[in-house]
Amino acid sequence: MRNLLNRSLLPTLALVLLCGPAAVRGATDAEADALNLESTEAKAPAKGKGDTRIFVEGALGTASQRYLPSSLNLRRVSLDLSYTARLGQGIRFVVSDRLDLIHPRDAGLDETVNSLREAYVSWQPEGAKSVFEFGRINLRYGPGYGYNPTDFFRDGSLRALTSADPFALRENRLGSVMLRGQQLWDGGSFSVAFSPKLERTPSLDGWNLDLGSTNNRDRLLLALGTQFSQRVSSQLLLYKEDGQSATVGANLTALLSDAATAHLEWSRGREPDLFSRALLSPAALQTRNRFVGGVTYTTAGKLSVTAEYQYNGFGLSQPRWAALGATPLAQFAYLRESLRLQDLAPREAVLIYVTQKNFGLKDLDLTAYLRYNPGDNSRLAWFELRRQWPSFDLAFQFQQNMGRPASEFGILPDRRIMQVLGTYYF
């Protein structure tokens, strides 16, 4: 198994099942941003010089163990680079890379991991509304905060997980090598993306490009976006990969009022269920749905609250999950596969996501969420307090996994994680 199985960060990894593409919307965000159906790029702090962003981050923490008498000490140093160069008229080159030194790591896994997230060339002819891109691109789709049925390029893309922040998870994943073309017009767009098979299997080498995780089969995605009005946007998608039937998807966002936004996301496909994939057992293909629906309310005081319902027809129902309780290794294998695919592990889940700017003090921000599994009553709670200066951030993060033994979050080896992080921006 790839280096996704870091025991000390397993609860954080499980978070990926719920928080792929979150999209925090502040009280002053433009309506166009609220209606954006292509998953918002992870909003790293806009600190840097022009088209270059470089920062160094260090973290120290502790993880109390559920099955061991002592806690684990956590240490990490990260170097993050994003750069955009203009090579000529209408031509851009984009590169995004991250180097992580993480301790502890499981035996056999590199403590140093380099992730080339993006490296591509973009060309838009002068005066034209066509855009062509080639290279490793982190393509994100779907307005859902905690789960994205139409984010078709998410599986296999998480190489090193260093944060439970949904924005960081979205930014730090690997893109896929692809050729993408877009045609834009007033009120709409159409895009075609083709990602070819380049390698067969994932790599455990911390310096490898890991094309075996992101480009291990041929994939094609068509997306048609339409903005019906200043208050409603929609998107239709058709996804096809080698050896599988086509999957259809649709997204919708709507401004309900000046303070409230609703989002819906749905896909329907024919594939083996998640349990069969995890245990590599033969199973008949089944046609089922994935769905997300949520509402975000933002106050004048910059408090934003999102409530979201999530459904995965390919996930285990609660009776089947409970039946696995007699074989904990099978439960762990199931959670690992759902993590690798970044798919929702239970059949149903609920997410409450909260942000508050200037939480008591200027430039002190609070981010918090609760993920709830109604089937087994287990919960994952996380919050972060972050104080920002012009070139430096200081943050405290806390995570708690709660539930009965053998429940989704009660089975995880880490009961509680606390970390202090310092980030310096060049």
Per residue in 254-298, pLDDT (tens digit) is 999 999 999 999 999 999 999 999 988 888 899 999 999 999 999
pLDDT at 375 over 70: yes
What's the pLDDT at 334?
Answer: 95
What's the pLDDT at 361?
Answer: 93
Share above pLDDT 70 across residues of the chain, in percent, rounded to a whole number: 88
269 DSSP β-pair partners:
288
261 CB contacts (<8 Å, ≥6 apart)? Answer: 25, 34, 253, 254, 255, 295, 296, 298
The token pair that represents 29 in the structure block = 């965000």
pLDDT at 378 over 80: yes
Alpha-carbon distance 120 to 139, whole Å? 12
Mean pLDDT to the nearest integer, 143-172 = 86
Mean pLDDT to the nearest integer, 407-415 = 94
The token pair that represents 50 in the structure block = 């022009």
pLDDT at 13 over 50: no
Query: Cα 83–87–88 angle (5° rounding)?
Result: 145
What's the pLDDT at 36?
Answer: 65
Mean pLDDT to the nearest integer, 218-236 = 96
Q: Which of 5-14, 94-103, 165-174 has the lowest mean pLDDT?
A: 5-14
Confidence of residue 109 (pLDDT cuts 50, 70, 90): confident
Alpha-carbon distance 249 to 235, whole Å? 8
191 DSSP β-pair partners:
182, 223
What's the pLDDT at 170?
Answer: 78
Query: Cα 337–109–104 angle (5° rounding)?
Result: 100
What's the pLDDT at 367?
Answer: 95
Burial of 224 (0-12, 13-18, 19+ CB in 10 A): middle
From the DSSP assignment, how many helices (H) and strands (E) are in the chain? 7, 18
Predicted model pTM:
0.88
Confidence of residue 50 (pLDDT cuts 50, 70, 90): low
pLDDT at 16 over 70: no
What's the pLDDT at 284?
Answer: 85
What's the pLDDT at 139?
Answer: 94
What's the pLDDT at 83?
Answer: 97
CATH domain 7-425 topology: Porin (2.40.160)
Q: Which of 35-44, 177-186, 244-253 has the lowest mean pLDDT?
A: 35-44
What's the pLDDT at 168?
Answer: 75
DSSP-based three-state secondary structure for 383: strand
Average pLDDT, the chain: 88
DSSP H helical segments within 114-249, as ranges?
A: 166-172, 211-214
Mean pLDDT to the nearest integer, 136-154 = 94
Pair 124, 130: CB distance under 8 Å: yes
What's the pLDDT at 4?
Answer: 36
Mean pLDDT to the nearest integer, 28-53 = 57
What's the pLDDT at 35?
Answer: 64
Alpha-carbon distance 408 to 380, whole Å? 9
Higher pLDDT, 112 or 7: 112
pLDDT at 31 over 50: no
pLDDT at 81 over 80: yes
Q: Which of 83-92, 100-109, 267-276, 341-350 has the lowest mean pLDDT?
A: 100-109
Find where tokens 């995570």 sit: 399
List Cα–Cα distances, 357 to 25, 159, 370, 386, in angstroms: 11, 31, 18, 10
SS3 letters for 221-268? EEEEEEECCCCEEEEEEEEEECCCCCEEEEEEEEECCCCEEEEEEEEE
Q: Which of 72-81, 89-98, 164-173, 279-288 has the lowest mean pLDDT?
A: 164-173
- 19-31 burial, b at 16+ Cβ within 10 Å, e below that, comes to bbbbbbbeeeeee
What's the pLDDT at 283?
Answer: 80
